[in-house]
Amino acid sequence: QDQLQQKIICPGPVTCLTASPNGLYILAGVAESIYLWEVSNGNLLAILNRHYQDLTCLCFTDDSSHFLSGAKDCLALVWNLYSVLQAEPSQIPDPRHVWSRHSLPITDLCCGFGGPLARAATASLDQTAKLWEISSGDLLLSVLFDVGIMAVTLDLSEYHMFCGGMDGSIFQVDLCAWPVQRDRTFQTERENGKVFKGHRNQVTCLSVSTDGSLLLSGSHDETVRLWDIQSKQCLKTMNHKGPVTNAFIVLAPANMFNPDGKPSVPLPKFSKHLHGTESNDEQGSEGVTLRLGLHQQESGESYLEKAEKMYSQMYSTREKNLEGDQEHLTIQVSELEEEVSTLRKINKNLFDFSARIITKPAK
């Protein structure tokens, strides 16, 4: 009864919503656009318009450095968050990867662990689920089913991929199966021991417990089911009064059952206009805005552009014979060491600047 509530009006109906794992940013899909807000002050930092039809799903990597978007235009895009934040409001930043191998709308996205080195899974109405590598953008696996796939998730160890179908079935795909095949067909009659059966309508959401033993699923049949992954048995069924659109397993916060555990800082209202385009009267006089790299845009590459170049050089070494290219490798190592030294100087300067602002005596 005493919960803190905040009603936030968005520019249109929100079709998908996600928060960064570090709690700093909120992403929302409104029609064909992606809106990015900063949680602490409610500033609208970016509006991304690179999809051609309505957004269906959004997700962050576990380190909050990248996010993925899927839409009805059959495209899944990978975005570098820091490149988006650094871009000028008049510019539309380019996604890091554009995945266009699906032939029907994307229905769900799931990202594994590893930050920019993680693997991501996509589900689509074209009856396939695909596994991708975020760093290179390569397609690792494509699994064809006999029904459209509405939900997808990975277990913590990424040994299995779970896919929810339009007919209510949930399929378990072994990612370490031998022989390794990029294109695979899931034949239900042959792999009957890897199908969860119980839902009577399409599965809309899936979530695996931290220990990898339990699977939670929600469906349009108005139920949420908890499954034992090993035996494929339904342990518990929770009934609802309407179609279930989302359900997931989370670790309970430490103060969840503490009656005195209330939010200390109220959530601000999210701005309707891009940060920096409002009038000075609407912006408060308090606070400091920091944008890294802008002071060097006129004098050459920004630090983010240099870092992106270093990333590409690091990944290119995987394809080369290191024994026959020692001299080139030595040059790359020296460049990386120089970049690390430069970033350490930037970090120290930023820390010193922040310390001066924080410790500045009040007038």
pLDDT tens, the chain, 363 aa long: 455 567 788 888 999 999 999 989 999 999 999 999 999 888 999 999 999 999 999 999 999 999 999 999 999 999 999 999 988 777 778 999 999 999 999 999 999 999 999 999 999 999 999 999 999 999 999 999 999 999 999 999 999 999 999 999 999 999 987 777 889 999 877 776 799 999 999 999 999 999 999 999 999 999 999 999 999 999 999 999 999 999 999 888 777 777 777 766 677 888 888 877 554 444 444 444 555 544 444 445 666 666 667 666 665 655 555 455 666 778 888 888 888 999 999 988 988 888 888 887 766
Q: Any alpha helices (H) in the chain, and if so which ranges?
A: 81-86, 303-316, 326-359
Q: Which residues of 269-289 are buried (b: 16+ CB within 10 A; e: fewer)?
A: ebbeebbeeeeeeeeeeeeee
Question: What are the backbone dihedrals phi and psi of residue 276, each rounded to the nearest 5 degrees, phi first?
Answer: 105, -15
Predicted model pTM: 0.74
Alpha-carbon torsion (339, 340, 345, 346), positive or negative? positive
Specify the length of the chain in residues. Answer: 363
Q: Note the pLDDT of residue 91.
A: 78
- Counting other chains too, the contacts that 250-256 makes at CB distance below 8 Å and 24 or more residues apart are 251/210
Q: Note the pLDDT of residue 361.
A: 75
Q: Note the pLDDT of residue 286.
A: 46
The three-state secondary structure class of 55 is strand
- Kindly state the tokens that stand for 245: 């659109």
In a 10 Å sphere around its CB, with 0-12 CB exposed, 13-18 middle and 19+ buried, how is residue 65 labelled?
A: middle
Residue 344: DSSP 8-state: H
Q: Note the pLDDT of residue 148.
A: 96
What residue segments make up the domains of the chain, in order of their start? 9-100, 112-253
Contact 28, 14 (CB under 8 A): yes
Q: Note the pLDDT of residue 277.
A: 59
Q: What's the fold here for domain 112-253?
A: Methylamine Dehydrogenase; Chain H (2.130.10)
The H or E element spanning position 171 is strand 170-174
Q: Note the pLDDT of residue 207.
A: 96
Q: Note the pLDDT of residue 280.
A: 43
In whole angstroms, what is the distance from residue 175 CA to residue 181 CA? Answer: 10
From the list 105, 115, 8, the residue with the least C-alpha distance to 60 is 115
Classify strands 183-185 and 139-144 as parallel, antiparallel or unpaired: parallel
Contact 54, 39 (CB under 8 A): no
Q: Note the pLDDT of residue 271.
A: 87
Give the other-Cβ count within 10 Å of 222's Cβ. 15
Residue 322: DSSP 8-state: S
Q: Which residues contact 177 (CB under 8 A, 6 or more apart)?
A: none
Q: Note the pLDDT of residue 285.
A: 40
Q: Note the pLDDT of residue 50.
A: 93
| CATH number belonging to the domain at 9-100, selected among 3.30.420.40, 2.40.128.630, 3.30.1330.10, 3.90.1150.10 | 2.40.128.630
From the list 239, 236, 251, 246, the residue with the least C-alpha distance to 206 is 246
User: What DSSP line would sit under 215-271, residue for residue?
Assistant: EEEEETTSEEEEEETTTTEEEEEEE-SS--------PPPTTTT-TT---SSPPPPPP
Q: At which residue do the structure tokens 């005195």 appear? A: 260
